[in-house]
Homo-oligomer: A and B are copies of this chain.
Amino acid sequence: MDLHAMDRYIKSLIKEAGHKIRNSFLSDISIESKSDANDLVTNIDKEIEQFFISRINRDFPGHRIFGEEGFGDRIEDQNGVIWLLDPIDGTMNFVHQKRNFAISLGIYEDGVGKLGYIYDVVNDDLYHGVQGGGAYYNDERLRPLGITTIEESILAMNATWAVPNRHFDHNGTLKLIQDVRGIRSYGSAALELAYLASGRIDAYISMRLSPWDIAGGMVIAREVGAIATNFRGEPGNLLEQDTFLVANPSIHSRILKDYIRQK
């Protein structure tokens, strides 16, 4: 792959998709629920995924596409080039707030992240990363993450994970909430990864994310030195839902070791 040419192509494609999303605010949006009442999808999520797929199929035949809305390919292995796409990450924010959502896109080759993009559509803020070539916020290079401590950290997580449940010991989560400096929750995994990469938060934790939520952000976050794993300390899996912790390298292992207890 010619990463430089692909990068230019993708940036243009993402900006065009962002323009379509902003235009959608002028018309009625139809909202449905998916797996549960709060797992929302709109006609715009679907239209934007189909827009990406038609362009990728036309211009990159042979590449495969793994998209949240299911219009892409059925992906059961990591061979070749795969585009992992969430056309609107943070659909609840899109519906309720008309802001705080992002296009999330990662390009992987044989399982290795090559290019990553998170586009904050309403703010017209683009975060991107190129394997070995750095991470950028609106084309300004992001600095490697500095050293921090749990006690000085801002952690992004959803308060839902403080509720007792059968997957992990919520007392670990409550301890973490008490030990960090502050907790935030923005409602878009992609934006939370972008915030992590730009040093505005120091860790982001979620009990359940899909590959398209994090594929783009992982490429960006790793270029500034962040560590991303599941709760067993293993690198993210591109094929299925998993637990997820991405953090500043000085606190990642301590969070896993001292606060995360899977049942």
Contact = CB atoms under 8 A, between A and B. Distances in A.
Interface of A: 37-38, 92, 96-99, 151, 154, 157-160, 162-164, 174, 177-178, 181-187, 195, 199-201
B177 A160 contact: yes
Contacts of A96: 154, 182, 199-201
A23 B195 CA distance: 22
How many copies altogether?
2
A98 B157 CA distance: 20
Most buried by B among A37, A159, A164, A174: A159
A92 B159 contact: no
A91 to B, nearest CB: 11
A177 B200 contact: no
A158 B92 CA distance: 19
What 6 pairs across the A-B complex have the smallest Cβ distances? Answer: A162-B162, A97-B200, A159-B159, A185-B185, A159-B183, A38-B181
Most buried by B among A96, A99, A158, A174: A96
A177 B159 CA distance: 7
Contacts of A162: 159, 162-163, 174, 177
Most buried by B among A99, A185, A195: A185
Nearest to A38: B181
Contact of A183 (B151, B158, B164, B177): B158
A200 B154 contact: no
Nearest to A161: B159
